Amino acid sequence: MNWDVKEAKITGDLEFEVCFEDGTSGKVKFFPSHLFGVFEKLKNPDFFRKLSITDGFVSWPNEIDLASDAMYFNIKQNGEWILK
């Protein structure tokens, strides 16, 4: 799928750059206010740095992942996806 992630690289606190199969790329940034529930573990910088790609998804241990299609459509429109 176009929105399968092929690369992801941490660029700062709670942010990373991503590149999709079709070459679309952009930035993803979390605001601390978004980090609750399943995403609360991402507040820990060491845990956040465990970012990886699993089956086309940006993911972290304990089955934490992001919806690649939502990320793709926001980046395609705005060049970034900000999770507030």
Q: What is the pLDDT of residues 37-47, one digit of tens each?
A: 999 999 999 99
Q: Which domains does the chain have, with CATH numbers?
A: 5-83 (3.30.2020)
- Residue 1 pLDDT > 80: no
Identify the bridge partners of residue 18 per DSSP, sorted by sequence position.
Answer: 8, 26
The whole-number average pLDDT for the span 14-30 is 98
Predicted TM-score of the model (pTM): 0.94
Smallest CA-to-CA distance from 60 within 45, 46, 47, 43 is with 47
